[in-house]
Structure 1
């Protein structure tokens, strides 16, 4: 028996002992939809060693389940093998009798599928680890809840839990649901850091602990499916769409990234690598290069981080969505927000005294990318971010001055002087930037890069004649 076979047999025995009958094997397609093949627990060993068949046409699926036809994907011919990551197998607390595992996709000869997003993220994360700079990441999950079967008003139902924004009233209204969600996530090994009501009616958010980027993307998938499953058990329907009301605040999926310095043979201590107090707003030289690289490629990154037509109903100025390509310290209107991670009582940059190098080393500074949402394939989004940050490091990229106000409040001439540009306001513009971006072409490879653009253009065509309200209605339950 192979090593994977022995590991799978052990995992299957453990799952049986815990009352599991079937395992959901999931991957996320280029439209951001989590697709699944399920196997009885007795077939887990074969799935791990031989794989489960799946068509490569899923690479060209749209969020509407229509199939685009591109140069490298979309046809009926061919087959792939899905192999579960046995280190991530977990019984699902809100789906008794089921377990879950993310999969890697291979061709029938056992070679990695060139359009497998999970494999690409693993490679990008390993590139940083090989430099002695292991990356950490996390993705915030925001969602809106509705009563299952609720009557529709103006095309979409009214959300439940409509108390004040961030208000305790919503927690009281939905205390059992939120308690069960925390229990389920915790039972599944997810480290919940925060859970709370958000700004819009019926909207909530959960934040989880930072992890290796691949684990963070896996956790994002698991969290979303758990939110949906717990909601169903409470008679609720869940939407992760970036636009639930055409002119309102939608659901974001902010990505957080940071770097650590691994302890080296010269005994330089491990610690935060993004900031050390020496550069702009306390960034380290390395941190400046990384942030500058991401900033320079944001327009193209939106094609994987805000990849739906509905994304651009959310991505508006003065909504904390990060609609301008700029960065700032704790600025929630900047697309890139430097979160200092400094403890209470310590001085933040610009507040008088600068933190010392020791204070920075004890903090957890990281970068929040506010312009992303949950229609993104999390593996693609984080892989793109890491690749652009790595490009910035390799090129020694430099940052403009940080922005400490809402960019929308600045006169246009002042924004021009400071080089602050609005991010693309349409998916078509993001796709054009994506297609022209050599770094993104390099990280995803010719096949996947072309397929992503093909899927985006097809979805643009699907919604070409739709009003904003129609986009909301047709997108609401897809993610």
Structure 2
């Protein structure tokens, strides 16, 4: 953050403040997502916004090693009471929060006091990787799907679903029509482009899908959307959980991401001579993501509870394979209908969930996809059946491996991955691994039901 950069951000923030005041905004929530996937915040009065855009808000770097239960660990590169960072809200991404009257939101980029980029800041990392792809002439469009469940308040913190109407059923929409209307209205008024909302499989479960956009904007949008859902749910006296597993014997919440690779306005996921019309570049990018998926689990499935969700034949994508419209494959190719394939074709990574820091997760995916482009990685044969229905011997013969079955296995794969190590840097790799091992230690010796109970309302 140079002196010129501070002045530019101050001027841009001044241009925003008048509009915010006209909309009745009193305060701005400035957020960042920590290594464990929790959205942390500091707030400022609206009149202070130009100053903090230029000079930042003080915040300890210790948040890099917070766990989901708010306990703190320490690694070689992060932890302890010493030091200070500055949270610089991005004035170009300010959103008036329709679900929280009087409030606006802005994502923070974290710098040190001298204006140097904080090496553990996930949003700055993602922005850098987007820029590196752009230097090669490529852009990526990303769009999230997010699932959540709604519960009634209960004294013992157990989950009591607000509705047991049928999965995907119109009865569930009818019963919660006012709530869902208010969710969609608040998202629209907050500038979030919603593709669809529908009831999901588990009791009280719903899903939102968002339009694809630039990866940094997509991650920002996910943060706004989840907090909007949380605010509307609270107004209806309902508890919301985005946790990967809310009830032991029920399907969990996913946090899938759709990706397409573009150059010069042309979608590389369609119109080529590769499998299902993938271009060579589209295949290589997808091959890079698939090849690094075991390591990416450490940033896409960030909690111990994540691995309770990854069960065979539950549409969770626990096998490292890909296929056209195969919802049991970790990577699903979505071709779209004739007439819109050039625009709509994409790949969906199905194994991730909402414990992920979306900036870290997308940074890892871009690094993996870029490596696939550089190394001309080819995809294995697509899988057109449920891999969970095969015997272990049949899967071995087909070259289909299960993804890591525990967070510890994912961390080991992450630390051994040279591509992610180079993209993230040694300090961030160590910090991520430290936080993941802290989560493992915090829940060590507990059975699935107790792990779920302890994490159910943290996300």
TM-score exceeds 0.5: yes
> How far apart are the structure 1 equivalents of 2:90 and 2:276?
40
Q: Paired residue for 2:222, among 212, 220, 223?
A: 220
Counterpart mapping for 1:74-473 below 5 A: 74-147=79-152, 149-152=153-156, 156-262=158-264, 270-343=265-338, 360=341, 362-473=342-453
> How far apart are the structure 2 equivalents of 1:327 and 1:75?
43
Deviations 1:180-200 (A, max 9, x none): 000000001111110010000
> How far apart are the structure 1 equivalents of 2:228 and 2:270?
34
The answer to whether the 8 A contact 2:12-2:92 is kept is no
> How far apart are the structure 1 equivalents of 2:298 and 2:199?
28
The answer to whether the 8 A contact 1:247-1:313 is kept is no
> How far apart are the structure 2 equivalents of 1:157 and 1:390?
41
> How far apart are the structure 1 equivalents of 2:266 and 2:336?
13
Question: Helix, strand or coil: the match of 2:297?
Answer: helix
The aligned counterpart of 1:352 is none
Question: Helix, strand or coil: the match of 1:70?
Answer: coil
Question: Helix, strand or coil: the match of 1:190?
Answer: coil
Larger deviation, residues 3-12 vs 381-390: 3-12
The aligned counterpart of 2:3 is none
5+ residue gaps, structure 2:
1-5
The answer to whether the 8 A contact 1:342-1:363 is kept is no
Give the RMSD, CA atoms, in angstroms: 1.2
Larger deviation, residues 127-136 vs 50-59: 127-136
5+ residue gaps, structure 1:
263-269, 347-358
How far apart are residue 278 of structure 1 and its match? Answer: 0.2
The answer to whether the 8 A contact 1:151-1:157 is kept is no
Deviant stretches of 4+, over 6 Å? none
How far apart are residue 413 of structure 1 and its match? Answer: 2.1
- How many residues align? The count is 454
The aligned counterpart of 1:6 is 11
Normalising by structure 1, what TM-score? 0.93
Question: Helix, strand or coil: the match of 1:451?
Answer: helix
> How far apart are the structure 1 equivalents of 2:40 and 2:139?
29
The aligned counterpart of 1:59 is 64
Question: Helix, strand or coil: the match of 1:341?
Answer: coil
> How far apart are the structure 1 equivalents of 2:267 and 2:80?
46
The aligned counterpart of 1:351 is none
The answer to whether the 8 A contact 2:27-2:102 is kept is yes
How far apart are residue 414 of structure 1 and its match? Answer: 2.1
The aligned counterpart of 1:42 is 47
Question: Helix, strand or coil: the match of 2:425?
Answer: helix
The answer to whether the 8 A contact 1:150-1:157 is kept is yes
Question: Helix, strand or coil: the match of 2:344?
Answer: coil
How far apart are residue 151 of structure 1 and its match? Answer: 4.6
How far apart are residue 281 of structure 1 and its match? Answer: 2.5
Question: Helix, strand or coil: the match of 1:157?
Answer: coil
How far apart are residue 341 of structure 1 and its match? Answer: 1.9
